[in-house]
Amino acid sequence: MQKSQLSNAKKAGWIVWWIEFAFLILGGIVWGYIAGHPAVLGAKWQSYQVVVNVLVGLVALWHVFIQVLAYVAVDRLSKNDNYLWPIILIVIGFMGDYLYLIPGIWGLISNGNHRVDRAHFAS
């Protein structure tokens, strides 16, 4: 049985996904340190701590949702030569995770090339 080969766009997608995942984890660690040491931010910090922690939690949930969506998009990037998943990665890229533009555009181009190749050989 032969292992399936990853396309270059999919490889780039996984690299970007792991980079973004590492940033998400590092951000959580840094925020955990800052929240655990209120003296880092000063005395006024304690009066706003609950509100800021809720906002940070909501932003973290949003980023987790984006990471899950990106995981699915990268996993299905080269399946069935469709345009949906590269476009989702491009939209994620425009929403702020700019590195996802690389596999999104690359997947869009490579999926388009596969369609042209199949159409050429079918005729």
Q: Is residue 3 in a domain?
A: no
7 close to 108: Cβ distance less than 8 angstroms: no
In the numeric block, which tokens belong to residue 17? 């996904």
> Each residue of 24-73: pLDDT tens digit?
999 889 888 877 776 666 667 667 777 878 888 899 999 999 999 999 99
CA geometry: angle 84, 77, 112, nearest 5 deg: 65
Whole-angstrom Cα distance, residue 114 to residue 117?
Answer: 5
pLDDT band with cut points at 50, 70 and 90 for residue 18: very high
Q: Is residue 70 in a domain?
A: yes
Q: Is residue 71 in a domain?
A: yes
What is the per-residue pLDDT for 2? Answer: 40
pLDDT band with cut points at 50, 70 and 90 for residue 3: very low
Give me the domain span that covers residue 106: 8-122
15, 71, 116 from 20: Cα distances, Å: 9, 11, 32
What is the per-residue pLDDT for 1? Answer: 35
Average predicted confidence (pLDDT) for the chain: 82
Q: Check residue 109 and report its DSSP letter.
A: H
* Torsion angle, alpha carbons of 100, 104, 110, 114, to 10: 140
Q: Is residue 2 in a domain?
A: no
What is the per-residue pLDDT for 111? Answer: 78
Q: Is residue 75 in a domain?
A: yes
The pLDDT of 93-116, averaged and rounded, is 84
Global pTM exceeds 0.85: no
Q: Is residue 39 in a domain?
A: yes
Split into its structural domains, the chain has a count of: 1
